[in-house]
Amino acid sequence: MSRFVQLFAAIALAPGALGATLIASHFAGGIYTLSLASTNCSSGTLSITSQTTGCGATPGWIELYSDSRKLYCFDESWLGSGSSAEFTVANDGRLSLTGQLKTTGNSVHGLLYGGTDGRGFVATAEYSPSTITTYKAPFSGAKQLQLEKFTLAQKGPNPRQDVAHPHEVHLDPTGKFIIVPDLGADLIRVFKIDASSGKLTACSEGKADAGDGPRHIKFWKSANGLQKAYTLNELGNSVSAWDVTYPTNDSGCLSLAKTQTLSTYAPGKKGGSTTKAAEIRVVGNFLYASNRADETFGSQQDSIATYTIDAATGAITWLEAANSYSYYPRTFQFNKEGTLLAVGGQTSSNVAIIARDTKTGKLGKLVANVQVGQKGRAGEEDGLSAVVWVE
């Protein structure tokens, strides 16, 4: 790292300045450290401070564990094999490769689960092989533990639903269940975790509407203990709310029952033939979902849908569409304070930092922006793939 870059990073994170570090992955193989420097939440500078590789040919998803400063990157390689990676994150955000996991490839998502600390095993979701796979940690040299192959009794109504397509492995808030939205099967698959062995046991699925194509899921809990979940439906360009019921004993399963589905567009509007909803986030009593290729705010300026969550019932209501300041916003994440949103534009291959009003939940002006790596092609698996805050 040059002296200029080191000095810039130090200034960006100096006391008294609004400084932050982010990490972004790119489908071309690069993992980038970004530095945000600003004196307020209305303007700033975002720059690339370092770059590395090690997460195979096609890094598709990254998970950061802040307490251990470990970053896990999952390789979406379509070549029949993959090389996911573990990195240690230094104080200045630079990454050091500390482990690699050889996989069968096409891992679109992954995380750690189980064991004595919740990180004794690794789970991945493979989109086209129609599988989820588990491994025994540590990451480097981990051996395959379990493989679950999904099939369809019949094809779904959307041409992309020719086979099962698990798109995420998500831990519920208790860490006792792994939830798998299946875009091809229109199901939310549920697996109970044996923490000591890492074994997953299938439970009853939550059933989405035909053609929804659920992609990702997030959980929410009311002040009085009501538990809800929300799914992002990529093919239906919608979000769904689900009642979550936990078992009364350790031998039971979590169950999901769909209660509501709303479009990712304002009432009376809908997406076009190439639009695809991508990501979902919950912050307090607000829900957010990104739309790819809708260009609601002009050429290559897609939208983020915002909803309010009823504090008592968990029901969602449309609030507004906001500018994502990107094209194909595949990934986005809020900082811990909820004051800033980092959006990763897949095709525009940029990271945009957007101000957020914590009271109204509305997104505001562009604070900072930087292009990361080479731009992608609309509708293709290239460009920027994921972004996270280092907090």
pLDDT higher than 70, residue 314: yes
pLDDT tens per residue, range 260-290: 999 999 999 999 899 999 999 999 999 999 9
Q: Report the predicted TM-score, pTM, of the whole model to 2 decimal places.
A: 0.94
Lowest mean pLDDT among 6-20, 22-36, 160-174, 231-245: 6-20
Better-predicted residue by pLDDT, 39 or 56: 56
pLDDT higher than 90, residue 156: yes
Residue 316 lies inside a defined structural domain of this protein: no
DSSP at 358: T
pLDDT higher than 90, residue 12: no
Residue 213 lies inside a defined structural domain of this protein: yes
Please say whether the beta carbons of 98 and 76 come within 8 A.
no
Reported confidence tier of residue 140, pLDDT bands at 50, 70, 90:
confident
Pairing label, strands 303-309, 286-292: antiparallel
The parent domain of residue 118 ranges over 69-217+228-263
Reported confidence tier of residue 39, pLDDT bands at 50, 70, 90:
low
DSSP for 166-234, please give it. B---EE-TTSSEEEEEETTTTEEEEEEE-TTT--EEE-PPEEPPTT--EEEEEEEE-TT--EEEEEEET
pLDDT higher than 80, residue 17: no
User: Alpha-carbon distance 160 to 262, whole Å?
Assistant: 21
pLDDT cut 90: percent of the chain above it: 90
Residue 3 lies inside a defined structural domain of this protein: no
pLDDT higher than 50, residue 5: no
Residue 82 lies inside a defined structural domain of this protein: yes
**CATH code for position 242:** 2.130.10.10
Exposure string for 326-348, b = 16+ CB within 10 A, e = fewer = bbbbbbbbbbeeeebbbbbbbbb
Closest CA to 12 of 91, 95, 96: 91
Residue 55 lies inside a defined structural domain of this protein: no
Residue 314 lies inside a defined structural domain of this protein: no
Residue 165 lies inside a defined structural domain of this protein: yes
Six token digits for residue 274: 């190439």
pLDDT cut 70: percent of the chain above it: 95
Closest CA to 89 of 5, 32, 7: 32
pLDDT higher than 70, residue 1: no
Q: Tell me what pLDDT residue 141 has.
A: 82
Residue 78 lies inside a defined structural domain of this protein: yes
Phi, psi dihedral angles at 9 (to 5 degrees): -65, -40
Q: What is the mean pLDDT of the chain?
A: 94
Q: Return the residue matching tokens 């009853």.
A: 204
pLDDT tens per residue, range 322-331: 999 999 999 9
pLDDT higher than 60, residue 232: yes
Provide the domain count of the chain: 1
